[in-house]
A and B are shown apart, each in its own frame.
Chain A
Amino acid sequence: EVQLVQSGAEVKKPGESLTISCKGSGFSFTTYWITWVRQMPGKGLEWMGRIDPSDSYTHYSPSFQGHVTISVDKSISTAYLQWNSLKASDTAMYYCARRFGGSYLPWGQGTLVTVSS
């Protein structure tokens, strides 16, 4: 079964750092780009950026460039989303998804990040 499994929910304070993960299985991890998507509470889906696991090339949305870092460890089929200094406005659900042809398929189950003092 093709699936993406994300790390568990996190509660952090403003200014703290955080890395969440997305582990792929059931497919050749280096063949497909991995994308990260944000969903703020009660809001829609926002495309953050993507990475090519074969060469770690990344592309970010201008809205997220410089605030997050996407990386990958292809030896363990895992992609990461990292913050160096969290803000309260980073509170959201974060999803990873595999780019399959023109689509995102499948999606991870999501990681809830709560940033509060």
Chain B
Amino acid sequence: NFMLTQPHSVSESPGKTVTLSCTASSGSIASNYVQWYQQRPGSAPTTVIYEDNQRPSGVPDRFSGSIDSSSNSASLTISGLKTEDEADYYCQSYDSNNEGVFGTGTKVTVL
């Protein structure tokens, strides 16, 4: 089964930069697009990165996405951390059946 593994949690101070990883269990991470979703407590997920590195309108350029084929992983980088960035973040891609697969999620705490 295709799985996406994320670190359980990460903490950083306001103004700093944090990078979240998303590692694919099998196949190539580059075979399908990777998306990133932000979910604040009590709210629905929202898209912060789609198609590896694209930002929807309204998402600040503090959010950026990338793919690293050598480690078979995707990354979400949040620079200039703000308290409003405190949330759960999920990566997402697709398996060989074109079914969506979500990562295990990372809780970001802004100290």
Contacts and interface: CB of A to CB of B under 8 A. Distances in A.
**Bound together:** yes
Interface of A: 35, 37, 44-47, 50, 59, 61, 95, 97, 100-110
Contacts of B105: 44-45
Given A44-B90, A45-B90, A105 B102 contact: no
B87 to A, nearest CB: 13
A105 B33 CA distance: 14
- For chain B, give the interface size range: 20 to 34
Interface in B86-111: 90, 92, 94, 97-105
Nearest to B46: A107
Contacts, number: 61
Contact of B50 (A47, A61, A103): A103
Contacts of B94: 102
B101 A103 contact: no
Contacts of A106: 46-47
B35 interface: yes
Contacts of B50: 100-103, 105
Contact of A95 (B45, B97, B99): B45
Contacts of B47: 103-107
B77 interface: no
A7 to B, nearest CB: 14
Interface string B30-53: 001101010000001111001100
B27 interface: no
Contacts of B33: 101-103
B23 to A, nearest CB: 15
B56 interface: yes
A61 B99 CA distance: 7
